[in-house]
Amino acid sequence: MSGLAIVTGGARGIGEAIVRALLEQGVVERVAVFDLAAGSLAAFGAFPATPIYACDVTDEASVRAAYAAVGEVPTVLVNNAGGGRLDRVADGAEGENDAFDPFGSAESFREMVDLNLTSAHVVTRVIGPELVAGSAICNTASIAGLMPNSLFSYGAAKAGLIHWTKAMAKALAPTSIRVNAVAPGIIRTQLWEAMQPSQDAYDVMIKEIMPMQQDQTPENIADAVAFLCSDRASQITGEVIRIDGGLTLR
Ligand SMILES: NC(=O)c1ccc[n+]([C@@H]2O[C@H](COP(=O)([O-])OP(=O)(O)OC[C@H]3O[C@@H](n4cnc5c(N)ncnc54)[C@H](O)[C@@H]3O)[C@@H](O)[C@H]2O)c1
């Protein structure tokens, strides 16, 4: 494949690794990142620096402005931005964080669904109608969307994203546009830095819950995304690849 990929939330963490994998594995020639603040990613090897367009993926006008600034139809779209306000646990005041409260406020629930589900629809609604046959969309879901857990709104949003991935795959199949998702396990990005700031506590948790006794890396996730967006996966659509070291087998 050639051309351009648009990766949301690509300024750091899993998204940045996705940008790198798409370039280094030859899935695309160029990448444009949509993230909250404008900037650029450092050059990866022979590739020039990747531009970051300021964009809030929950806001359609903002997505339209960023897309207009790019001025090119991509062959790959990765809806990766997500996460949200999971950080107040770091204060040791779990009850204060709505995300961990089964009876949390409707406002914070909506906020989480907005960022982790509706945003993928918003971005795809803007860019999707222009995609040509052979293009690929990949969504970053989570194992939280596959198994019940204490992140109620986040898990519900990611479960919705998985369902939406399959519905979109079915809808777009006749146009030869593929839609897949990845479901990462646990990766110590800034998301986890905020949730579990102590490395010791994090290590104990990983040993306790991970069948393979280790967490995943951003590169583990990025490799699966690059594969799903490449021509090697040309007959794969509506798939959700778990990259979780067997966690969901428990
Ligand atoms: N880290 C994990 O353990 C884990 C596990 C499963 C799934 N995920 C998912 O992987 C994706 C990437 O997470 P990460 O761990 O790299 O997190 P991260 O917080 O390190 O990176 C998220 C990126 O998204 C951007 N972003 C956030 N809100 C945005 C918005 N409204 N508009 C545009 N950009 C926005 C941030 O600026 C940041 O660059 C998320 O969808 C997350 O839910 C992460």
Span 195-239, pLDDT tens digits:
777 899 999 999 999 999 999 999 999 999 999 999 999 999 999
Radius of gyration, CA atoms only, the chain: 17
In degrees rounded to 5, what are phi and psi of residue 132? -105, 165
CA distances, 189 to each of 18, 50, 61, 128, 223 (Å): 13, 20, 29, 29, 16
Overall fold of domain 4-244: Rossmann fold (3.40.50)
Please report, for the chain, the start and end positions of each structural domain, with discontinuous segments joined by +: 4-244
Contact 63, 115 (CB under 8 A): no
Instruction: Share the mean pLDDT of the chain.
Output: 94
Whether the per-residue pLDDT at 162 is higher than 90: the answer is yes
Cα 13 to ligand 1 centre (Å):
7
pLDDT digits (tens, 9 = 90+) for 89-135: 444 444 456 888 899 899 999 999 999 999 999 999 999 999 999 99
Query: Tokens in use for 119?
Result: 């945003």
The yes-or-no answer on residue 53 being catalytic is no
Max Cα–Cα distance, the chain, nearest Å? 50
pLDDT digits (tens, 9 = 90+) for 51-71: 999 999 999 999 999 999 999
Best residue among 8, 31, 33, 36 to mutate for probing ligand 1's pocket (most ligand atoms within 8 Å of CB) is 36
Atom of ligand 1 nearest to the CA of 140: 41
In degrees rounded to 5, what are phi and psi of residue 240? -125, 115
Nearest alpha carbon, ligand 1 atom 25 = 9
Contacts of 58 (CB under 8 A, 6+ apart): 114, 115, 118, 119, 122
pTM of the model: 0.96
Residue range 177-184: average pLDDT? Answer: 98
Nearest to 27 by CA among 127, 136, 124: 136
Nearest alpha carbon, ligand 1 atom 30 = 56
CA distances, 81 to each of 3, 35, 115 (Å): 21, 8, 8
Cα 174 to ligand 1 centre (Å):
31
